[in-house]
């Protein structure tokens, strides 16, 4: 199976986009998961709905909303550009789209594992003199690590495969925004492109399987460390 240099560019770009997407969505993902799992506040249902929106909306709609918000002429685009942050038709935009599409999956996994952390342990930490931030860092966070790892890998896999929102928002520019999924799409649009599309499809399947295996392995390892029984 010979991959062309064009294929390799798309593969490394995909990995970069997905990696950056997960890295930057992890902190807000953990924060929002904690808010949803541990706090009650007005607008909680709204926040929960908002987080899940990318899961329900057609990806094209999400991509279009990103375009009108973060595009050059979008609502926030010029302001962000003045800060040196440009999303439109850049790989950073692809990462933003991928991050937002993977966000609901990430938050959901983290939230579930945080909800499973025994609040009585948090109360015990408080009684031992731990201020709220320390309770979170030394008890809640380590005990929900399996869910955080699972959520991150799930979001990574989702980001690798993201297509609709990305192509709507940042188009399909080789070397800049042409990820594996976008390149497969390009191959299917040209005659004689079937073999090339199939090649990348195999790569895509392998990457997904690898991410899944890594998630299982990591979750198990982290679970052992956390002293949790195997599922």
Partner 1 sequence: MLEVRIRDRRGDFTLDVDFSAGSGLTALFGPSGSGKTSIIEIVAGLARPQEGFVRFGDTVWTDTSAGLHRPAHTRRIGYVFQEGRLFPHLTIAENLDYATRFLPEARRDHLENRARIAALLKITPLLARRPATLSGGEKQRVALGRALMARPRLLLMDEPLSALDQAIKAEILPDLERIRDVEGIPILYVSHSVAEIARLATRVITLDRGRIAGRAPAGLDVQPVIADGEALGTFLSATVTGTLADDGLTVAQSVAGTLYLRQVDVPPGTALRVHIPATEIILATGRSEGLSTLNRLSGRVAALTERETAIDVTVDCSGIPVLASVTRRSARALALEEGKAVDVLFKALAIAPESLYREA
CB closer to partner 1 out of 66 and 125: 125
Q: Could you list the residues that contact partner 1 (CB under 8 A)?
A: 118, 120-121, 123-132, 134, 138-139, 142-143, 225-229
Tell me if 85 sits within 8 A of 9, measured CB to CB: no
Minimum Å distance from CB 133 to partner 1? 10
CB closer to partner 1 out of 77 and 147: 147
CB closer to partner 1 out of 194 and 224: 224
CB closer to partner 1 out of 121 and 173: 121
Minimum Å distance from CB 151 to partner 1? 18
Round to whole Å and give the CA distance between 104 and 33.
Answer: 10
Minimum Å distance from CB 114 to partner 1? 14
CB closer to partner 1 out of 16 and 38: 38
Minimum Å distance from CB 112 to partner 1? 18
Minimum Å distance from CB 149 to partner 1? 14
């Amino acid at each position: 199976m010979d991959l062309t240099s064009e294929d390799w560019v798309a593969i490394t770009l995909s990995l970069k986009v997905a990696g950056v997407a997960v890295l930057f969505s992890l902190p807000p993902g953990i924060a929002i998961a904690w808010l949803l799992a541990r706090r009650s506040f007005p607008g909680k249902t709204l926040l929960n709905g908002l987080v899940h929106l990318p899961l329900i909306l057609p990806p094209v709609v999400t991509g279009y909303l990103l375009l009108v918000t973060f595009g050059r002429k979008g609502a926030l685009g010029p302001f962000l550009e003045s800060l040196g942050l440009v999303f439109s038709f850049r790989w950073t935009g692809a990462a933003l789209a991928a991050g937002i599409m993977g966000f609901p999956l990430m938050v959901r996994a983290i939230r579930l594992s945080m909800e499973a952390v025994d609040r009585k342990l948090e109360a015990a930490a408080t009684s031992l003199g731990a201020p709220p931030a320390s309770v979170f860092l030394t008890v809640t966070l380590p005990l929900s690590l399996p869910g955080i790892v699972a959520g991150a890998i799930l979001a990574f896999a989702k980001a690798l495969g993201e297509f609709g929102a990305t192509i709507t928002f940042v188009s399909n520019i080789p070397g800049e925004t042409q990820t594996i999924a976008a390149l497969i799409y390009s191959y299917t649009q040209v005659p004689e492109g079937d073999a090339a599309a199939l090649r990348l499809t195999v790569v895509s399947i392998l990457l997904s399987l690898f991410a899944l295996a890594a998630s299982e392995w990591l979750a198990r390892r982290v679970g052992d460390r956390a002293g949790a029984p195997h599922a």
